[in-house]
Amino acid sequence: MGVIYDTTLRDGEQTPNVCFTPEQKLEIAMMLDEIGVDEIEAGFPIISEKEFEAVKTISNQGLNAKIFAFCRARMDDVDTALKCDVDGIVVATSLSEIHLKFKLKKRFEEVFSQALKVVEHASDHVFVSFTTEDATRMPVRVLLAIYERALEHGAERIHLSDTVGVATAELVECYVTALKSLGCELLCHFHNDFGLATANSIKALMSGADRVAVTVNGLGERCGNACLQEIVMALEILYGFHTGIKLEKLYELAKLVERYSGIPIHPQAPIIGENAFTHESGIHVAGILENPLTYEPYEPEMIGRKRKIVLGKHSGRKSVEYKLKELNIKGDARKLLGLVKAIREGGVPVTEDLIRLICGGDEYGR
């Protein structure tokens, strides 16, 4: 069993201004399945007719992955999801004090009683995961009581949802250890409001959680969710844990979701950013030319990428020599280095086309 539960098509799509077409959702789901993700949350069927169609189409595509639908703790949400032929349903409610008081404006007992009825109804038909939003701002003892009742009413998995990204590593270990005492599957879902989503996901798994929820490129509301690529590579490289994910396809997947979401990947995003394997500093390039692991934690080819050397203010002679050889250009490396530094400090990027133009000049005696 894998540890990745992908919610790109549901929570990832809740990124402001992101809206996948049914065709795009299917293509993303098929690629997630291809790379080895074995659980995919395909959407929130009741929100629209097209969403319903998308989830149903994905469910009936014959993928190896199990397909889940997201539902509020409402009977009509569940009945709609069941018509999509999904393998599982996530039943979500809100039971934190702040959500009850300001969002739902209802008493705990009323909301929880309704949620249990929905869980019981859904569990008569399909695998049920149960979650209460904002769990990491609730007392552990309260969560334990809530999830114990949900399990008694048919839930087979519970979620620890860090809805506003406030969990710390210490808190994660405490919650996971307590919740695993219930003897059921535990999935942890972290948001990135403090930049801790990846670290918290890893901590959750190391503390005994069964799965973590992720999105491709870390898409999601506000600051996003835990990033699929970061978690997979951290587990594989830093912890020696085999995830079952085809690493060589990660970058291709990232670019597909970037294109369909319209959300550009930040140049310095770990794993998938343009600068992840791009080097300018002469000191770094000199080391990399001898052994790439001097300034890279793993080979870029592992995730379907290539190394890139660029020239600029911080370049050294070896960088220039490498670039001339790469571009199959004859030129005086020392002269070019001085010119490169002057041009870049003048505010002009040193592109490969500019290098070709410079090296075509008489001063290089071609």
- Clarify whether residues 171 and 72 are in a common domain: yes
Do 248 and 294 belong to one domain? no
pLDDT of residue 364: 45
Alpha helices in the chain (DSSP H): 22-35, 49-59, 75-82, 97-98, 108-123, 140-152, 169-180, 197-206, 228-233, 250-261, 282-290, 317-326, 333-345, 352-359
pLDDT tens digits for 307-317? 999 999 999 99
**pLDDT tens across 33-68, in order?**
999 999 999 999 999 999 999 999 999 999 999 999
pTM: 0.95
Please tell me whether residues 286 and 214 are part of one structural domain: no
Interval 70-102: pLDDT, tens = 999 999 999 999 999 999 999 999 999 999 999
- DSSP letter assigned to residue 225: B
- Identify whether residues 85 and 168 lie together within a single domain: yes
pLDDT number for residue 366:
40
- For residue 193, what are the contacts with CB-CB under 8 A and spacing of at least 6? 164, 165, 166, 222, 223
Residue 96 sits in the same domain as residue 224: yes
Q: Residues 223, 344: one domain?
A: no
Residue 196 lies in a domain: yes
Shortest CA distance to 39 belongs to which of 47, 29, 50? 29
Confidence of residue 361 (pLDDT cuts 50, 70, 90): low
Cα–Cα nearest to 289, from 306, 310, 309, 304: 309
Whether residue 358 sits in one domain with residue 321? yes
Q: Which two tokens stand for residue 264?
A: 């550009």
**Residue owning tokens 């319903």:** 52
The SS3 assignment for 343 reads: helix
d(CA 44, CA 97): 25
Contact by Cβ (8 Å): 217, 265: yes
Task: Classify residue 256: in a domain, yes or no.
Answer: yes
The CATH number that applies at residue 215 is 3.20.20.70
In a domain, 217, yes or no: yes
Q: What is the mean pLDDT of residues 4-31?
A: 98
Is the CB of residue 357 less than 8 Å from the CB of residue 331? no
Please indicate, yes or no, whether residues 171 and 133 belong to a single structural domain of this protein: yes
| Total Cβ atoms within 10 A of residue 112 | 20
Residues 252 and 344 in one domain: no
In a domain, 268, yes or no: no
Q: CATH no. for residue 318?
A: 4.10.430.20
DSSP assignment of 46-61 equals GG-HHHHHHHHHHHTS
Mean pLDDT across the chain: 96
Q: Which of 261, 294, 312 is the last residue of a domain?
A: 261
The model's confidence at residue 360, banded by pLDDT at 50, 70 and 90, is confident
Residue 331's pLDDT is: 85
Look up residue 175 and give its two tokens. Answer: 């919650």
**Claim to verify: residue 216 and residue 124 sit in the same structural domain:** yes
The per-residue pLDDT for range 155-201, each reduced to its tens digit, is 999 999 999 999 999 999 999 999 999 999 999 999 999 999 999 99
Q: Are residues 255 and 278 in the same domain?
A: no
Which of 28-42, 195-209, 321-335 is predicted with the least confidence, judged by mean pLDDT?
A: 321-335
Give the C-alpha separation, 360 to 321, whole Å: 16
C-alpha torsion 24→29→31→33, nearest 10: -170
Domain around 288: 274-364
For residues 322 and 285, the answer to whether their CB atoms sit within 8 Å is: yes
pLDDT for the residue numbered 246: 98
d(CA 182, CA 148): 7
Please tell me the predicted confidence (pLDDT) of residue 1. 74
Q: Decide if 266 is inside a domain.
A: no
